[in-house]
Amino acid sequence: MLLEHQRDLTPGDSNSKQVIIRCDNISKEFNTNGKSFQVIQNIDLEVVENEFVVLFGPGQCGKTTLLNVIAGLEQPTTGTVEVNGKRVEEPGADRGVVYQTTALFPWLTVLGNVEFGPSVRGINKKERRERAKYFINLVGLKGFENHYPVKLSGGMKQRVGIARAYCNDPVVMLMDEPFGHLDAQTRYMMEDELEKIWQRERRTVVFVTNNIEEALFLADRIVLLNNCPTSIKTEYRINLPRPRSYVDPEFLRLRQAITEAMDKSL
């Protein structure tokens, strides 16, 4: 089968790999004007080594909040998160984060931005520069090392953001709709580039999107979330061969099946 409900899977494949991210009974509430508002409700989630997991669901359902809890930027109201066996209580270098807006330092060049994390961590100049140039080349920006962010297009800035996150040598990559603000053509190109980088680097990735085509193109597994307060409705393992095509008949069939499932969650 090219698409399977996760609960129907037999042992093997990802089940035999090390669990890198473990979310145990995560709930999150915010208090506004004395009123409590629940965003996440009782989420249990495991992501294994080298897996590309997409959190997919309607807008404003809590996907970003869940990603921020994994990143250590938000603390859960109940439950715990572990990354690589260590409890998450604050942000850390083991988690690279890429958002829609890259927040590049405007006074630093592309090279300066990419090597900033290793510099803060005390990595010697020779090593961090070699790593930075490697990832700049990997994201297709060789020759732009000395350019400043103001001279870069939106797609190029996102490439810098991805290179910067990878250069810090994280255990996992957390990506929150990183291509959401790009035009359609650039978005398709960036999805293709990210898939190639992931195939080469084999990092564990959790990727947030509300675009079903993007989810199907990138994911090993799609976690379908209910509307707010978000909980896991179901999970799908995507067994389409890589690289994938947006116009492949099976791709289109799976898009329809998951879209119908999401519509029922609204």
Segments making up each domain of the chain, as ranges = 23-94+173-265, 104-169
The matching CATH number, chosen from 3.40.50.300, 3.20.20.140, 2.40.160.10, 3.20.20.210, for 23-94+173-265 is: 3.40.50.300
pLDDT score of 12 more than 80: no
Token readout for 112 is: 């300066």
Q: What pLDDT is recorded for position 100?
A: 87
Q: How far is CA 118 from the centre of its chain?
A: 21
pLDDT score of 265 more than 90: no
Q: What pLDDT is recorded for position 148?
A: 98
Residues 110-131 have a mean pLDDT of 94
CB of 205 within 8 A of CB of 49? no
pLDDT score of 266 more than 70: no
Supply the DSSP symbol for 258: H
Residues 166-173 have a mean pLDDT of 95
Alpha-helix runs per DSSP H in the chain? 63-71, 110-114, 116-120, 125-138, 154-167, 184-201, 212-218, 249-265
Q: What pLDDT is recorded for position 101?
A: 85
Q: Which of 59-63, 112-116, 214-218 has the lowest mean pLDDT?
A: 59-63
Residues 130-155 have a mean pLDDT of 95
Q: What pLDDT is recorded for position 14?
A: 54
